[in-house]
Amino acid sequence: MNILLFGPPGAGKGTQSALLVEKNGFAHISTGDILRSAIKNQTALGLKAKEVIDKGELVSDEIVIGLVDEAITNLKNKSFILDGFPRTVIQSERLDEMLTKMDKKIDKSIFLDVETDFLIKRLSGRRVCKSCGASFHIEANPTQSEGVCDKCGGETYQRADDEADSIAKRLDVYEKSTAPLKDYYQAQGSLVKISGLGSMDEVYGRINEVLKA
């Protein structure tokens, strides 16, 4: 089974993907993670993407479509979660074409619904490990020792795009470019909306119910 996890910035896509990888054995394809890794390694793509991401804008469709095509091809037949892709209708259309060519499909398009006030709180309190990328929250999921990753002992930091101006921009871009995907997947019959509120385990439980249905 292949699933698409989408929703506004801070809805919990990365958090739930990590649980689904750990407990259900999915492969995880996150365009945000791929782009941040390119920035960290200072590749040509990373240098190009950094400014756009820090401002809260979207990287070009062509770039992310190429990244996802490569990632899915490399997985061969493993079940996967797409997190953060697609986020424009063009990306959705190109994903469908790509999957048809590979004789694959998305079985469930799960939309994580979270109100804006909660999103802002989640994003502004997020801390991420510089070494392993694990994500924490200063209130909901704090590290045991401030600034130190519980998983690998690396240093945690606040993403540049989690500062107030970028958060506002990302929420705006989400409404204009990504929210229309709800209609796209509703029309295809794969859309399942679930609440992303409550504890991380509660949300994970809801996703599991969807996967079992």
Enumerate binding residues for ligand AP5 (CB under 6 A): 9-15, 31-32, 35, 52-53, 56-59, 64, 84-85, 87, 91, 122-123, 125-126, 135-137, 140-141, 161, 170, 199-200, 203
Give least dist CB 197 to ligand AP5, A. 7
Nearer Cβ to ligand AP5, position 85 or 111? Answer: 85
Q: Please report, in angstroms and rounded to a whole number, the separation of the first and last CA atoms in the chain.
A: 12
Structure tokens at 164: 């107030």
Nearer Cβ to ligand AP5, position 77 or 136? Answer: 136
Catalytic residue status for 206: no
Nearer Cβ to ligand AP5, position 77 or 202? Answer: 202
- Of 55, 159, 169, 206, which is the active-site residue? 159
Give least dist CB 24 to ligand AP5, A. 16
Catalytic residue status for 182: no
Label residues 56-87 b or e (16+ Cβ within 10 Å = b): bebbebebbbebbbebbeeeeeeebbbbbbbb
Residue 157's beta-bridge partner residues?
128
* C-alpha–C-alpha distance, residues 112 and 11, integer Å: 6
Contact 28, 81 (CB under 8 A): yes
* C-alpha–C-alpha distance, residues 148 and 145, integer Å: 6
Give least dist CB 89 to ligand AP5, A. 12
Q: Given the DSSP bridges, would you call strands 108-113 and 135-137 parallel, antiparallel or unpaired?
A: unpaired
Catalytic residue status for 122: no
Catalytic residue status for 87: yes
- Contact partners, residue 87, CB within 8 Å, separation at least 6: 6, 58, 174, 177, 178, 181
Catalytic residue status for 159: yes
Residue nearest to ligand AP5 (CB): 32
- Of 36, 94, 126, 127, which is the active-site residue? 126
Which residues are catalytic, by number? 13, 87, 126, 159, 170
